[in-house]
Chain A
Amino acid sequence: MTTESVRLFVAEDNPADVWLIEEALNRHSISFAIENYATAAEAINAVVQYQDGTLPVPDLILVDYNLPTGHGGEILAAAATVARLADVPKAVLTSYLQPREHKAALDLGAKCVITKPAQLEEFMSEVGGKIAELLRARDAESIATEQPSRG
């Protein structure tokens, strides 16, 4: 488990859910910093800011699907246009998705769709576990790609 603080981009309008995500990360011993956007418009605006290369890219992008002013798919679509975010793992975190939205999210570059469990313990293990998994996979990939240059 990495001890470095991970930077999470979270589009989520429910502050209670942000708190639950934080708790889940704590329980998985992940140290983190969260950028939270409460509307789709704010999140999209933030995503396109990464284009110009001055801001450090996040380690993970988590988007809720139903948001004021739009939906998570629009944020994923905006992120897909930003080359610097290509290697950043993205996931949808939502109460429930219609099957066609589920498919659309994966098509737009989400690695997975995490359904927010109703029970607290499940939320902790499911959400925390999935985030940890995504981060590990990203690290493995970056090591694999960075290794030759190190040699």
Chain B
Amino acid sequence: MNVAVTAFEENNSTQHERVKLLLVDDDPSNLIALQATLEPLEQELMLADKGEDALRYCLDHQFAAILLDVRMPGMDGFETAALIRSRKSSRHTPILFLTAYRSDEQLFRGYDLGAVDFLFKPILPEILQSKVAVFVDMHRNERLLHRQTERVAVAERRFRAVLESAPDAMVITNETGIIELANSRTDTMFGHVRESLIGRDLRTLIPEWQPATTPEAGNGPVSNWSGTAPESRLTALRHDGTCFPVQITRSIFDTSGKYLFTTAIRDATEQVQAEARIQRVNAELEKRVAERTAELSYSNEALRQFAWAASHDLQEPVRTVLAFSQWLSTTGETASTKDRKRMLLTIQSHAARLHELLGGLRQYIHVSELGVTAPREASWTLVDCNAVLRQVTANLQDLIDENQAVIERDRLPFIYGNDILLVQLFQNLVANAIKYRSASSPVVRISGNATDSAWVFSVQDNGIGIDPKYHEYIFGVFRRLDRGGGAGMGLAICKAVTERLGGKIWVESPPEGGSIFRFSVPLRTEAEEQEA
């Protein structure tokens, strides 16, 4: 008869978790008597009528205690006990022997096999109950302890796993900064072997590290002293002596009176680089805005000056044409033929003058920033300045021949720009060099030299020269140094062209006489070179 008996109501088991007791006796009546005696303990009772069954139960169940009859046919109690003891899972299960004989030999053998007690038949129920109750309690406590230990171990494993999987170096120190625990990220970040870190001061890794304030230190209100201290940016030291920026987050926790500090360390190298990059970009942006603003206010001022000059200079011939045509129409017969003819010539010359001014104006607007709608780079290419000069010489062939002028040209560079604009620029300068000639026949020398940042071209002549006080004046719109022909736009156009090329134009009066007009064209930066 080997039946497992659930002796008690389920509802009792919630209060006290039931434990299992194994009762082994070859005599069924004894088993029934034991069962009846132990039922009030409200535990789960399992019954076996031979040693083999008892052993089998021991494979599948953990018992708080085993009550084992010594004298059984076949495998007796001692043999059974020896086998129970030999198994790892049941090595410590308390065994109480039930016997009818008090023999010292039996007692010794029993205790030798690990018996915890002997109960002599006839068994007194109260004694049996109280003895077994002790083992039930013991077993329960043991189980509780085991579970708690297990729970702690799981928590510890979990904590380690979290620590190891953290993207940051995590270091736990005591109050003085001595490292008690560090994750593997710490080794790789600092280049130390982890074992060598334990017991070392965290300040050997981060010299400026300070423990978070403990409540006892009383440094102001630390409302969340078991929480997190604000992040701070510090400098850390690798094993090889190199430095790198880190972002640390500290927290503190109280372990029954002893404070532990957790420091999460994040390598901030990339962050610092990114910040520096952002700062650089911002600075560059601000610079560009400032430059653009300056450019705009410059072109606004230039536009204003231009508008005044244009309105004034265009007004003059119109007014003259109007006044003289009125005069001519009202004077009738009273004026002499000579005067009337002179009036007509005046009208004609001023109409022609107006035409000339408008032509110059159109040309100026075309080359200057004022008329630019498309991006300036749209038609920019690498231009051979030698070809530009050949074109200019061809365009000015009549003027050159008339004056028997000599054009000397050094080998000129290729520059990045626009050939139409460069032809206009050189043509105005060369034409001026010939027109404002002295008594000797004109010699015009053109050269181009590189400086650190720009090409500087020069057009030198042996002409009448220009008084230094007009060196700036002549580059304005409608500016002339004599009352002769010309719209007074030539050098204004040259200035507009050089400005569109990103350069400057100026004139020098060399001691040997004549003039040297120079203009610069900035070299392209590497960045621009790459963009192209």
Interface residues of A (CB under 8 A from B): 13-17, 19-20, 23, 38-39, 41, 66, 68-70, 95-96, 98, 116, 118-121, 123
Whether A120 contacts B326 by the Cβ 8 Å rule is yes
CB distance from B205 to the nearest CB of A (A): 70
Interface residues of B (CB under 8 A from A): 308, 311-313, 315-316, 318-320, 322-324, 326-327, 330, 342, 346, 350, 467, 470, 473, 478-483, 488
Whether A69 contacts B315 by the Cβ 8 Å rule is no
CB distance from B530 to the nearest CB of A (A): 47
Whether B308 contacts A98 by the Cβ 8 Å rule is yes
Whether A95 contacts B473 by the Cβ 8 Å rule is no
CB distance from B436 to the nearest CB of A (A): 13
Whether A68 contacts B320 by the Cβ 8 Å rule is no
Whether A118 contacts B322 by the Cβ 8 Å rule is yes
Whether B473 contacts A14 by the Cβ 8 Å rule is no
| Given A38-B483, A39-B483, A95-B319: A120 touches B327 (CB 8 Å cut-off) | yes
In the assembled complex, the Cα of A19 lies from the Cα of B320 at a distance in Å of 11
Whether B316 contacts A95 by the Cβ 8 Å rule is yes
Instruction: Other than A68-B483, A69-B481, give 10 A-B pairs with Cβ distance below 8 A.
Output: A14-B320, A16-B323, A19-B342, A39-B481, A68-B479, A95-B319, A96-B312, A118-B319, A119-B326, A121-B326
What A residues does B308 contact at CB under 8 A? Answer: 98
Whether A68 contacts B323 by the Cβ 8 Å rule is no
Residue of B313, B326, B470 near A66 (CB, 8 A) is: B313
In the assembled complex, the Cα of A31 lies from the Cα of B64 at a distance in Å of 148
What B residues does A19 contact at CB under 8 A? Answer: 342, 346
Whether A69 contacts B470 by the Cβ 8 Å rule is yes
In the assembled complex, the Cα of A73 lies from the Cα of B326 at a distance in Å of 31
What A residues does B478 contact at CB under 8 A? Answer: 66
CB distance from B501 to the nearest CB of A (A): 28
CB distance from A144 to the nearest CB of B (A): 37
B327 nearest CB neighbor, chain A only: A120
In the assembled complex, the Cα of A119 lies from the Cα of B479 at a distance in Å of 26
> Can you give 12 contacting A-B residue pairs, CB < 8 Å?
A15-B346, A16-B320, A41-B481, A66-B313, A66-B478, A68-B482, A69-B470, A69-B481, A96-B311, A119-B322, A120-B326, A123-B323
What B residues does A70 contact at CB under 8 A? Answer: 473
Whether B330 contacts A13 by the Cβ 8 Å rule is no
Whether A68 contacts B316 by the Cβ 8 Å rule is no
Whether A95 contacts B315 by the Cβ 8 Å rule is yes
Whether A39 contacts B482 by the Cβ 8 Å rule is yes
What A residues does B479 contact at CB under 8 A? Answer: 68
What B residues does A116 contact at CB under 8 A? Answer: 319
CB distance from A16 to the nearest CB of B (A): 5
CB distance from A63 to the nearest CB of B (A): 15
Whether A66 contacts B312 by the Cβ 8 Å rule is yes
B479 nearest CB neighbor, chain A only: A68
What B residues does A120 contact at CB under 8 A? Answer: 322-324, 326-327, 330
In the assembled complex, the Cα of A126 lies from the Cα of B479 at a distance in Å of 28
Q: Which of A16, A19, A68, A123 has the most CB of B within 10 A?
A: A16
In the assembled complex, the Cα of A123 lies from the Cα of B319 at a distance in Å of 10
Whether B318 contacts A118 by the Cβ 8 Å rule is yes
| Given A39-B481, A118-B323: A69 touches B473 (CB 8 Å cut-off) | yes
Whether A68 contacts B481 by the Cβ 8 Å rule is yes
Whether A68 contacts B480 by the Cβ 8 Å rule is yes
CB distance from A10 to the nearest CB of B (A): 14
What A residues does B318 contact at CB under 8 A? Answer: 118
Residue of B312, B313, B323 near A119 (CB, 8 A) is: B323
What A residues does B319 contact at CB under 8 A? Answer: 95, 116, 118
